[in-house]
A and B are shown apart, each in its own frame.
Chain A
Amino acid sequence: MSGINWRGVGAIFHHEMMRFFRTIWQSLASPVLSTVLYFVVFGAAIGGRIQSVEGVEYGAFIVPGLMMLTVLQQSVSNASFGIYFPKFSGTIYEYLVSPVGWVEVTMGFVGAAAAKALLIALVILVTSFAFVGVHILHPFWMLAFLTLSALGFSLLGFIIGLWAKSFEQLQIVPMMVIMPLVFLGGAFYSASMLPPFWESVAKLNPVLYLISGVRWSFFGLADVPVGVSLAAVGLMVLICLAIIRWIFATGWRLRD
């Protein structure tokens, strides 16, 4: 790793984080407001009619799902916007002519996107304490799952940003793919609550494994074995890295 231009990685990371801090209140207000609304609707209004899920109070049960919803949405949108904006403004040339390769560019952008998503997820966790009593059984594993998920989906967002040719394309994948996957991935329910056929279908959804892993770190409850969850997110990271490497090697959507 001695050939890595670490200062280059730091410059990209710092630049991206500064953008986040320039608009810190906008960055935080929107996800926090959404979370409060989810708690009001799902926790209080609907949750009031559901006593508990697998022994956990429903309001608390949805906290891991809400955090994952935020992590996945924020990771994808931060990373995709981060790399798309230089393409849009024309400043992408700087990354192509400077002594940084795909490893440094990816580490800088994806690292920053994941860090922002994690920060917001932690703010949401703190917000949830105002609504429900949450006890985290395995805090280390919670952070590990959140971090791996943030990295995996930041990598996916990075690919979306590299692929996108317009702001519309930038929006469409998170809206059409990520959101449904999260909702169908058990953010607000346990897969075991589904009829057997639909439970099998739900297990084809990669997000289920991530949410299940985080929920296990909170309550020790999981829809799928924790090892499978870890393997799923690890596989996702590897596939995304391979795609990004290919994009930089060929210059697809990067070089004219």
Chain B
Amino acid sequence: MAAIIEIDRLSKEYGSGTKALDNVSMSIDEGEIIALLGPNGAGKTTMISIICGLVVPTGGTVRVGGHDIRTDWRAARRLIGLVPQEIALEPFEKVINCVRFTRGLYGMPPDEAYIERILRALSLWDKRDAATRELSGGMKRRVLIAKALAHQPRVLFLDEPTAGVDVALRREMWEVVADLRREGVTIILTTHYLEEAEQMADRIGVIAKGRLLLVRPTAELIGEFGRKTLTIELDQPLQAIPAGLQGRGLGLSDDGRRLSFDYDTRAERTGIARLLGDLAAQGISVRDVSTRQSSLEDVFLSLVSEEAA
């Protein structure tokens, strides 16, 4: 698939010498969802802000749909919609007028049918004549999404779209994103909720200290960096790990009924078969076994701590 965003050695250094973004390069294909993960101050918002035109880079280039964001900024910006992190709306303006205004600002002719469609899709149609100050936080965030979609962008940036919203609304937002993806909109989102990235993103980019540590397909990232834990439920509790099984990194639960064993999914021999054989040889009978894949959160923490070290 063709790249819709090409970022080449993008940097942002402030007067104080702080490098908010350090030589970042990446390419984003049309129609994919990319999640940018990183701790606070990692450079995620700076990256989005540069691409959207809020921040001027000190080095590198960005092309959106083949248009350079600095030399051909009008064409580049027409392709982009931004949902900012902070809720910012004109308090006295009606919802529908906010969306119409944004469409006009992007140079698009009025299209009431399209505006009705996005307001309905975002469950805002019934609130179209309400002033934005009368809306709940979740509704306001939807208005921001409606505004960002008002000019039918091909790329949508969502800067922490579910920050501060409750669990139910977060799931609704995920559905909105899934619908947009079906329509072929490329989505770049930043999030602190790793579950969100894991569930929605095709690829994940991890940023720390202004550097892009990696960009990988979500499943591959979890699989490659992930470890699994094997939990063995025992018929009879153990007082301690038997001498013949020590030195293998086994853990025993407080009640002595469960053994846990961490193994690397990438290893040629995981050691599971040998462990189960040894348990049988020692007369320890097993009631059940289960495995747990390490979450993206574990992967993320391990990457960021490696970078910090």
Contacts and interface: CB of A to CB of B under 8 A. Distances in A.
Interface string B123-155: 000000000000000000000000100000000
B195 to A, nearest CB: 28
Contact of A96 (B54, B86, B87, B91): B54
B101 to A, nearest CB: 5
Contacts of A95: 105
A97 interface: yes
Contact of B105 (A3, A22, A89, A98): A98
A93 B56 contact: no
A95 B54 CA distance: 10
B288 to A, nearest CB: 54
Contacts of B106: 7-8, 98-99
Contact of B52 (A10, A86, A97): A97
B102 A255 contact: no
A94 B102 contact: yes
A75 B49 CA distance: 33
Contacts of A10: 104
Nearest to B87: A90
A100 interface: yes
Given A7-B107, A99-B77, A18 B97 contact: yes
Given A8-B107, A100-B105, A90 B88 contact: yes
Contact of B102 (A14, A22, A90, A98): A98
A255 B107 contact: no
Nearest to A108: B105
Interface in A76-125: 85-86, 89-91, 93-101
A89 B90 contact: yes
Interface residues of B, number: 31
B91 A94 contact: no
A122 B105 CA distance: 30
Contacts of A89: 88-91
Contact of B88 (A3, A11, A14, A93): A93
B104 A96 contact: no
B101 A11 contact: yes
A255 B55 contact: yes
Given A89-B90, A97-B53, A99-B74, A7 B84 contact: no
A152 B89 CA distance: 30
A97 B77 contact: yes
A22 B90 CA distance: 14
Interface residues of A, number: 30
A200 interface: no
A6 B89 CA distance: 23
A94 B89 CA distance: 10
B189 interface: no
Contacts of B56: 251, 255
A249 to B, nearest CB: 10
B105 to A, nearest CB: 5
B119 to A, nearest CB: 18
B108 interface: yes
A93 B54 contact: yes
Interface string A1-30: 001011110111011001100100000000
A7 to B, nearest CB: 4
Most chain B beta-carbon contacts within 10 A, residue among A93, A94, A95:
A94
B109 interface: yes
B107 A91 contact: no
A90 B105 contact: no
Given A8-B104, A11-B101, A19-B92, 6 more contacts: A8-B107, A14-B104, A86-B90, A90-B84, A99-B107, A256-B54
8 contacts: A8-B104, A8-B105, A11-B104, A18-B97, A86-B90, A89-B89, A90-B88, A96-B53
Interface of A: 3, 5-8, 10-12, 14-15, 18-19, 22, 85-86, 89-91, 93-101, 251, 255-256
